[in-house]
Amino acid sequence: MSDLSIKYMGLSLKNPIIVGSSGLTNSIENLKEIEKAGAGAVVIKSIFEEQILIESDKFLSSSDKKIEPMKRGFDDIMNKRSYDYIEALDYIDNFAKENTLDKYLQFIEKAKESISIPIIASINCVSSYNWHYFAKRIQKAGADAIELNIYLLPSNPIQEGIENEKVYFEIAKEVQKYVSIPVSLKISYYFSGLAQKVIELSKTGIKGLVLFNRPYNPDIDIKTIKISSSNIYSTQSEYSHTLRWVAILAGRTDCDIIASTGIHDYTSVIKQILAGATAVQMASVFYKKGFGVISETLKGIEDWMKEHKFENVNDFRGKLSQVKIEHPAAYERVQFMKMYSNIE
Ligand X SMILES: Cc1cc2nc3c(=O)[nH]c(=O)nc-3n(C[C@H](O)[C@H](O)[C@H](O)COP(=O)(O)O)c2cc1C
Site of interaction with ligand X (CB under 6 A): 20-23, 45-46, 122, 124, 149, 186, 213-214, 232-234, 260-263, 282-284
In the bound state with ligand X, the residue whose beta carbon lies nearer, of 213 and 297, is 213
In the bound state with ligand X, the residue whose beta carbon lies nearer, of 212 and 310, is 212
**Smallest gap from residue 230 Cβ to ligand X (A):** 12
- For the chain, the 3-state helix, strand and coil shares in percent, each to the nearest 5, are 50, 15, 35
- Give the integer Cα–Cα distance in Å for 282 and 263: 6
In the bound state with ligand X, the residue whose beta carbon lies nearer, of 2 and 272, is 272
Those residues with Cβ within 8 angstroms of residue 105's Cβ, 6 or more apart along the chain or in another chain: 137, 138, 140, 141
- Give the integer Cα–Cα distance in Å for 31 and 15: 16
**Smallest gap from residue 10 Cβ to ligand X (A):** 21
- Give the integer Cα–Cα distance in Å for 104 and 121: 9
**Smallest gap from residue 1 Cβ to ligand X (A):** 27
Nearest residue to 114 (alpha-carbon basis) of 122, 106, 126, 124? 106
- Give the integer Cα–Cα distance in Å for 159 and 315: 45
- Give the integer Cα–Cα distance in Å for 312 and 294: 18
In the bound state with ligand X, the residue whose beta carbon lies nearer, of 115 and 263, is 263
**Smallest gap from residue 47 Cβ to ligand X (A):** 8
- Give the integer Cα–Cα distance in Å for 190 and 204: 19
In the bound state with ligand X, the residue whose beta carbon lies nearer, of 59 and 286, is 286
In the bound state with ligand X, the residue whose beta carbon lies nearer, of 229 and 314, is 229
* Contact by Cβ (8 Å): 292, 298: no
**Smallest gap from residue 188 Cβ to ligand X (A):** 10
**Smallest gap from residue 63 Cβ to ligand X (A):** 31
